[in-house]
Every structure is written in C-alpha cells, then in structure tokens.
Structure 1
Amino acid sequence: MSNYQHILVAADFSKEFDSVMAKAMELQKLYNARLTLIHVVEYTGAMYTGEIPLPEDLDL
C-alpha cells in the first residue's frame, strides 16, 4: 500500500458518510497524513431569486 500524504474526503452526508469518514481518519493517523474534507454545493438560482429559473422537478 502507498504511503498517503494527503487524504481528500468528499462529504455527501449520506448514511454511509460516518463509516467513510472513520476509515479516512484511520488512514490519516496510520500515515500521519493531511486530511481534508470537501462538500460541494451546486449553484442554483434559488440563491439569487429571479436570476435563473429552476426546473419544477428539481430536488434540492
């Protein structure tokens, strides 16, 4: 196995996220690596009303 220096965890906060994060933290400790958590939020017109029309079936 490689010697990890930086671990990036994409957080979607699903039901599996806790176990994924636990594994990432385990690897971070094992390799004394840097651990970064990222959560991406897609831009939508709802943030700025009237700017971009949203599809009616959009599930935010």
Structure 2
Amino acid sequence: MSVYKHIIAGLDLSEESPQVLKKAAQLAHTCNATLSVAHVIEPLTFAYGGDMPVDLSEVQEQLQLKAEQELRRLAEQVDFPIRQEHILVGQPATELHQLAGQESADLIIVGSHGRKGFALLLGSTSNSVLHGASCDVLAVRVNETDERET
C-alpha cells in the first residue's frame, strides 16, 4: 500500500523550482504515486490594485503562455512521468487547495525559502498552502545557492 496516490508539486518557476520538482518526483516514485505540477499566476488586477484604466488582458495572456512553456521545460527535466501540468490564475494557496480537491490529490509539495525576520512576519506561500489544505503539505527547503546535482 502506498502512502500517497496523487502528488501535486506547486512550483513558483523560480531558480529553485527544479529542486522542488526533483524531490516531488523522488517521492512519487517511492510511493508509486502519480505526479502533477501546478503554477499559479496572480491576476494583474491583484498585483496592481485593480484600479488601472488599462486593459491588461494581453499581458496576462503573455504571462500565462510563458508560464506554460516554463512548466513544460521543468517537467521535461525530471525522469518521472508528469500526469498533468496546471496553470491557474488566482491566489496561490487558494488555487492549490482547490486543485488538490478537484484532482483528489493527497499531498501538495511546495518550496520553502526559510525566511526569517520581517519576511517571516509577512508570511509565505508555503505557509499559506499549509493552512487550509485538506490534504498533507510538504514544504521542501530549497537551497538558494542552487544545488545543480543530477
């Protein structure tokens, strides 16, 4: 019996994303689980306050296209089959919670930068994902100096 059946790796597409995806693939392999990847784009109306009299839909579409390409590139770098690649628009924790419910995922994996001081007080995406999740959440400590081992 495997501990997890469907794992979702929430990736922020930063330089540390390959580390998170590698850990997720290793765990999925060990558990004989399926692995999906997801990236959440915050809507520009959220990022810029929503009161700009400019149509940002084309910019949003470009961000989504770039994210799709980057997620596909990351998925090709791991030696494990990716069941599905999700690009979502919204607040990261909320979208990952909803996706996990829709996909019957039993584990969400995210990266954690181990922030301290003021940054810790502001919270983090990994902390937000942990609170309110209906499944297990694993925060992978990423090495910000980048460990490009294979």
TM-score (norm. length: structure 1): 0.66
1:13 counterpart SS class: coil
The structure richer in helix per residue is 2
Distance 1:38 1:48 in 2: 22
Instruction: Identify the range of structure 1 (36-45 vs 20-29) with the bigger mean alpha-carbon deviation.
Output: 36-45
* AA matched with 1:16: E
Point out which structure has higher relative CO (alpha carbons under 8 A, 6+ apart): 1
* Higher-Rg member (1/2): 1
* Other-structure match for 2:27: 27
Q: Is the 8 A contact 2:28 2:34 kept in 1?
A: yes
Alpha-carbon RMSD across the aligned residues, in angstroms, is: 2.1
Of residues 7-16 and 37-46 in structure 1, the stretch that sits farther from structure 2 once superposed is 37-46
Counterpart Cα distance in 1 of 2:42 and 2:14: 16
Q: How many residues align?
A: 48
Gaps of 5+ in 1: 50-60
1:24-44 deviation per Cα after TM superposition (whole angstroms, max 9, x unaligned):
000111111011111112223
Percent identity, aligned pairs only, is 35
Mark the CA change 1:48 to 1:7 in structure 2 (over 3 Å): closer, same or farther. same
**CA-to-aligned-CA distance 1:1-60 (integer Å, 9 cap, x gap):** x711111111111121111100000011111101111111222351169xxxxxxxxxxx
CA distance in 1, matches of 2:58, 2:26: 40
CA distance in 1, matches of 2:30, 2:16: 22
Question: What aligned pairs does 1:1-60 form with structure 2 within 5 A after superposition?
Answer: 3-44=3-44, 46-47=56-57
Q: Secondary structure at the match of 1:39?
A: strand
Alpha carbons 2:28, 2:35 under 8 Å: kept = yes
Gaps of 5+ in 2: 46-55, 60-150
- The structure carrying a bigger strand percent of its residues is 2
